[in-house]
Amino acid sequence: MTNKWGLFFGLIVLFISFGCTNINKKGKEDQLLFPPELVDFVPYENNPVFNGTGKDTWDSKIRERGYILLEDGIYKMWYTGYNGSEAATKYLGYATSKDGIHWTRYPGNPVFNEYWTEDVQVVKHDGKYYMVAEGVNDIAHMLISENGIDWVRQGDLDIRKVNGEPIDSGAFGTPTLWLEGNKWYLFYEREDLGIWLAVSSDHKVWTNVQDNPVIEMGPGSYDAKGVALDQIIKYHGKYYGYYHATSSVNLGTWNSDVAVSDDLIHWTKYENNPIIDADSISDDYSSPVLIYDGENYRLYSMHKGVRVFFKRNKKQADVKTDYKKSLKISTKI
């Protein structure tokens, strides 16, 4: 009897040990794929750091994804402003900051008002700024600038299926660029029902790598009803895609999330998504943009106002910007 009970308890201990080992192993694997500096953030105590004016100006309200680059110690932000209802025409604004917290609007705003421009993303390449944005009816278009202020519209994006035929008619929005070598990558969504990927050698004609999404909705509830990619970074040889998603049937409230890939096509979502969630059903902390400030990564959520989130356990009083540093940081980190 004694031997039987000894064997029984021994098996229980072995089972528990095996289970704990697997849990610990899973946790370590997840931490290796998603290091804390890329996913674990706390909000700045004085958020939001940038918002609509709330007055009778062209940017009384702001919305969608704005975008930030850090260049030569200056944070540069392009944002979407409008005055009136959600149907009001959206224009492009520009603001700068020395610390990424206190922002100054460009006195010549809006910097582009010739065409509906919202949900913007910017890449700097060979001295030029390339912007992709949503236009009328959520059709993505491109603009190019020599200085980040004066923009020239290049027209709607020309996206083709794998066989070379134009993609099916309808909206294609939240465009996001990634440039590696001489190859351009374009991520886009269709009605927020998935994230597609197309490639180009000249950023003029884009061809799908496959005609179905590379990032799909679900299986978690937090992104079961809609997804859209906001930014790609490269970190320790892996690609990290920061995206916003929703569990709301009416696409009312969005959160911020991350996934990882080795090839930009096959993606693994972070087990603890969302990394930033809304405080209430009436607000969004979405359209995430990650910036390396010279010491640590910080995360900005751009919709519906701009909020900043710092590395956890980093005292906000210690957040400093060395204005004398010459930092040249783009979307390729």
Q: What percent of the chain is predicted at pLDDT more than 70?
A: 83
Distance CA 225, CA 219 (A): 10
CA-only gyration radius of the chain, Å: 22
User: Average pLDDT of the chain?
Assistant: 88
Q: What is the pLDDT of residues 127-141, one digit of tens each?
A: 999 999 999 999 999
Q: Calculate mean pLDDT across residues 114-124.
A: 98
Using the structure block, give the residue that is written with the tokens 């509830």.
221
Please give the structure tokens belonging to residue 56: 């009778």
Asked whether the CA dihedral 6, 11, 16, 18 is positive or negative, the reply is positive
Q: How far is residue 297's CA from residue 307's CA, in Å, rounded to a whole number?
A: 14
Residue 27: pLDDT band (50, 70, 90) is: low
**Residue range 282-326, pLDDT digits in tens:** 578 999 999 999 999 999 999 989 999 999 974 443 443 332 232
Task: Supply the pLDDT for residue 315.
Answer: 47
Amino acid 327: pLDDT: 28
Q: Is the dihedral of CA 303, 74, 37, 183 positive or negative?
A: positive
pLDDT at 299: 98
Q: Is the pLDDT of residue 279 over 80?
A: no
pLDDT value, residue 87: 87
Averaged pLDDT for residues 141-168 = 98
Check whether 88 has a pLDDT greater than 60: yes
CA–CA distance, 129 with 122 (Å, rounded to integer)? 7
How confident is the model at residue 6, as a pLDDT? 53
- pLDDT tens digits, residue range 63-74? 999 999 999 999
Rounded Cα–Cα distance for residues 169 and 247 (Å): 26
* Tokens of residue 32, six digits: 């290796």
DSSP assignment of 273-290 equals --SB--SSTT---EEEEE
DSSP tag of 230: E
Distances (CA, A) of 99 to 145, 146, 243, 323: 24, 24, 24, 8
Query: What is the percent of the chain where pLDDT is above 90?
Result: 77
47 pLDDT above the threshold of 80: yes
Q: Flag whether pLDDT at 229 surpasses 60.
A: yes
User: Higher pLDDT residue, 278 or 183?
Assistant: 183
Chain segment 174-219, per-residue pLDDT in tens: 999 999 999 999 999 999 999 999 999 999 999 999 999 999 999 9
Long-range contacts, 103-111 (Cβ 8 Å, 24+): 103/49, 103/50, 103/75, 103/77, 103/306, 105/59, 106/149, 108/149, 109/58, 109/59, 109/81, 110/58, 110/59, 110/81, 111/78, 111/149, 111/150, 111/151
